[in-house]
Amino acid sequence: MSDVLILGAGPAGSAVALGLRRMGYGVTLVSDWRRFAALEGVSQRVLEALRGAGLHQALADATLPSQRRVSWNGLQHAQNIEYLLDRPRFDQGLREDLQRAGVELIEGRVLAVHSDASGHRVEVEGHGQQYSGFLVEARGRQAPALGKGRRGPETVSLLNRWQGAPGSTASAVQSLEDGWAWMARRADGQCYWQLTVDVASAELPAKAQLLDYCRQRRQGSALAAELFGSAAENDLHLHARSSTAILHPQLCGDNWIRVGDAAMAVDPLSGNGIFQSLSSALQAPVVINTLLRKPERAALARRFHQQRVEQLFLRFARIGRDFYADELRWPQHPLWQARRQWPDSEVAHKAADFSTLSIGHAPVLRDGFVDEAEVVITADQPLGIWHVQGVELAPLVRRLRTQPTEQVLAGLTVEQGRRVRSWLLAQGFKP
């Protein structure tokens, strides 16, 4: 019996496991191997987040830089660099990071989970039963649902993988009348093309005809022909997966928590799935630590996790909505029409206005636990901001309303002053 049992060894489950090990917890992680090979494009920001979580071996040889091309709304341009993660190698690196940290790793399929107030009993194929007082659900979209959550328009992605001719690393994204496609080629000739479409309106053929359907769609794309060339598509595979945005209704209890795509999963156009998984996973160890060691703060810890994940979900959903809205050529097609209006009409990033800042109490992370503190509530951060560079913002904002700026900031170090001034200016403050 371990202190904490984690189901799923993706980036979210691994980040939680490493965070708990640093806190001294005994951790057992149960995971089955990914059943299909995939390539994922991530930004420099994601790489930094992965390193910050302690996932160094996972990145050691799994990152390939690529200049991403974009063809959207009839316009073509080269966007920022993205890094291509080969998921089989990346996943193997995750396991090595976990083993080095002292996480007990069990490779097997979860057959059943039995939970009650006293703990959890998990049946693992080939490994009998595992017991723990606390359970982390990190099996991604495969995790069983807990009631009816919030869902976006039903979306499916068709991932094609094949072996082509070696060449330079490249990636691209392209909008189409009935969907959009992401494509990438590794230097060794591994090729990936993923078509994302609306489930209700796509009129996809039967499963046996899907490969031919995808091949015809690729052949009709000049961008795909340029990226992949005319080499034969050897060892061609297809994997269909849901890309529907989902927010689960229950994210945390007194002895369990959901993280990563098991908590929320967003449309891939909203941003990178790994980054979104880490966003909820990096806070989880502190939430778990609070639930186990300070049960009197359990309600506060649950509220912190629930609110943060919900806010992240809506932020990413609105970003995706705005990307869909940028494509203006097919406004009446069901895919574009539904997604340019969901989840709501709220702007993704509200304009800063210092006069509208308010001060309230909210759960925060303090010294390894969830605590409550005064925070500054802004248009873009409705859950509040506690401090910048160690400087608590609520008392500072309160003083700035009646005292000269230099007097309020006089006691700060050079670096604190620089960071706090930058934050104030971003909030529309005018000295």
Mean pLDDT computed over 78-93: 85
Contact yes or no for 88/161 (Cβ under 8 A)? no
Can you give the pLDDT at residue 81? 84
Q: What is the dihedral of CA 380, 386, 390, 391, to 10 degrees?
A: 90
Tokens 């790489």 locate to 47
Q: Which of 16-20, 101-105, 229-233, 321-325 has the weakest average pLDDT?
A: 229-233
CA distance 141 to 239: 15
CATH of domain 2-65+79-151+245-325: 3.50.50.60
pLDDT tens string 315-360: 999 999 999 999 999 999 999 999 999 999 999 888 889 999 999 9
Residue partners of 16: CB distance under 8 A and separation at least 6: 6, 136, 138, 259, 281, 284, 285, 288
Domain spans, the chain: 2-65+79-151+245-325, 155-242, 354-426
Secondary structure of 320-331 in the HEC alphabet?
HHHHHHCCCCCC
Mean pLDDT computed over 171-184: 96
Residue type, 225: A
pLDDT tens string 192-224: 999 999 999 998 999 999 999 999 999 999 999
Indicate if the pLDDT at residue 34 is higher than 80.
no
Mean pLDDT computed over 124-129: 96
CA distance 274 to 285: 18
pLDDT tens string 213-260: 999 999 999 999 999 998 889 999 999 999 999 999 999 999 999 999
pTM of the model: 0.93
Structure tokens at 201: 């309106």
CA distance 173 to 123: 41
Can you give the pLDDT at residue 55? 87
Q: Band of the pLDDT at 1, cuts 50, 70, 90?
A: confident
Q: Band of the pLDDT at 428, cuts 50, 70, 90?
A: very high
Structure tokens at 427: 């909030």
Query: CA torsion sign, 377 to 380 to 383 to 384?
Result: negative
Contact yes or no for 289/369 (Cβ under 8 A)? yes
- CATH topology for the 155-242 domain: D-Amino Acid Oxidase; Chain A, domain 2 (3.30.9)
Prior bond of 404 cis (ω within 30°): no
Indicate if the pLDDT at residue 53 is higher than 90.
no
Can you give the pLDDT at residue 83? 86
- In 3D space, the residue among 136, 128, 127 whose CA is nearest the CA of residue 27 turns out to be 136
CA distance 108 to 122: 11
CA distance 286 to 281: 10
Can you give the pLDDT at residue 221? 95
What number of other Cβ atoms are within 10 A of residue 61's Cβ?
Answer: 12
- In 3D space, the residue among 94, 377, 126 whose CA is nearest the CA of residue 260 turns out to be 94
CA distance 418 to 408: 14
Q: Band of the pLDDT at 61, cuts 50, 70, 90?
A: low
CA distance 322 to 339: 9
Strand partners, 106: 30
Any idea what DSSP says for residue 199? T
CA distance 73 to 173: 12
pLDDT tens string 388-424: 999 999 999 999 999 999 999 999 999 999 999 999 9
CA distance 63 to 48: 12
Mean pLDDT computed over 159-171: 92
Can you give the pLDDT at residue 60? 80
Can you give the pLDDT at residue 19? 96
Q: Band of the pLDDT at 62, cuts 50, 70, 90?
A: low
Mean pLDDT computed over 90-112: 94
Q: Could you give the maximum distance between any two Cα atoms of the chain, in Å?
A: 73
pLDDT tens string 374-384: 999 998 899 99
Q: Band of the pLDDT at 43, cuts 50, 70, 90?
A: confident
Indicate if the pLDDT at residue 271 is higher than 80.
no
| Whole-Å CA distances, 12 to 54, 88, 323 | 12, 16, 26
| Whole-Å CA distances, 346 to 241, 317, 341, 342, 357 | 29, 11, 10, 10, 18
Can you give the pLDDT at residue 75? 94
Can you give the pLDDT at residue 281? 93
Q: Band of the pLDDT at 33, cuts 50, 70, 90?
A: confident
* Helices H / strands E in the chain, number of each: 13, 22
Q: Count of alpha carbons within 13 Å of 201, Cβ hemisphere only?
A: 15
CA distance 331 to 324: 10
Mean pLDDT computed over 27-41: 86
Three-state SS for 93? Answer: helix
Percent helix, strand and coil across the chain, each to the nearest 5: 35, 30, 35
Mean pLDDT computed over 87-106: 92
Question: For a pLDDT cut of 90, what percent of the chain falls above it?
Answer: 77
Average pLDDT taken over every residue of the chain: 93
Mean pLDDT computed over 44-50: 85
